[in-house]
Amino acid sequence: MPATNQERVIQVISNILNIPTDKLTLDSSPASIEQWESMKHINLVLAIEEEFDVQFDDEQIAELQSVKSIITAVENTSA
């Protein structure tokens, strides 16, 4: 069975931030994850765009501040 958007987003975040997927929740954010700093955020956005073949504008990028917000943005952008 193909991975869900949530599973794919969590896997990308796990890979970029180098943290286990089981440590990530929908509420995980830069405030709760030390490794999620500005440069990693840029890498994360680029990796999400590549994984889902989407392009976020500057306003959307500024709103990508949690696992849940990233999933929502992916689903709204690819719809």
Domains and CATH numbers, the chain: 5-77 (1.10.1200.10)
Judge contact between 60 and 77, C-beta under 8 A. yes
Q: How far is CA 1 from the centre of its chain?
A: 21
Q: What is the pLDDT of residue 78?
A: 76
Binned at pLDDT 50, 70 and 90, residue 79 comes out as low
With both helix axes pointing from N to C terminus, report the angle between 67-77 and 5-17 in degrees, rounded to the nearest 10: 130
pLDDT confidence of residue 2: 77
Contact 14/48 with Cβ under 8 angstroms? no
Read off the pLDDT of residues 24-75 as tens digits, 9 standing for 90 and up.
Answer: 999 999 999 999 999 999 999 999 999 999 999 999 999 999 999 999 999 9
